[in-house]
Structures are given as C-alpha cells and as structure tokens.
Amino acid sequence: MFKKLFLLTILCASISFSQSTDEIRKNSVFFEAGSSGLMFSLNYERFFTNFLSLRMGIGYVTTDDVETGTLPLTANFYINLTSEHFIELSLGYTILI
C-alpha cells in the first residue's frame, strides 16, 4: 500500500505545474494524497483576502480492520515577506466520520 501511495505522489508531483498571474484566484478545488485528509482527500479552498484562506474537504482512510471518512478543515494565513515571497501558517483539524 505504501508503494502505491508513494508512486501516486511522485506521479502527481511530476505532472503538476504552476501558472504565474498577478491575480489570486479566489476558489480552488484539488486532490491531495497523504495530507490533512490522512490518506486521500478532495478539497475546496476559498481565499477571502490575499492573506487568509479557508479549506475544507472530504477524504477516505482504510486500514486492515477500519474504513472511515475524513473531513479536513484548515485555515491558512499568509505573511508577506516581499512582493513575491510569503510565509504560510496553517491551523487545521481533521474530523473522522
């Protein structure tokens, strides 16, 4: 299982790309593996200002004897160092359902 998750992470990282824009997109939908959703999660993030965003998602976790869903919730704060560099501080909680 770990090998499959590792290969999926490498594949996603190798096909990802970024776009340079002056405008910050207010809404974002993305898939995460091995992060706040514990195993896999589909997330929605909304930027309220250039320095605050909230993220929520739905995920899935399975072990040998337990299958459960997750609800990751995260608040992100961005501190502007220069015009192109930020520090991201996050506070999150994952609910098991």
State residue 12's pLDDT score.
Answer: 58
Q: Is residue 16 predicted with pLDDT exceeding 90?
A: no
State residue 64's pLDDT score.
Answer: 86
Q: How confident is the model at residue 2 (pLDDT cuts 50, 70, 90)?
A: low
State residue 50's pLDDT score.
Answer: 83
Q: Is residue 91 predicted with pLDDT exceeding 90?
A: yes
Give, for 10, the enclosing helix (H) or strand (E).
helix 2-15
Residue type, 36: S
- pLDDT one-digit tens code per residue, 37-56: 788 889 999 999 888 999 99
- Report residue 37: phi and psi, to 5°: -85, 5
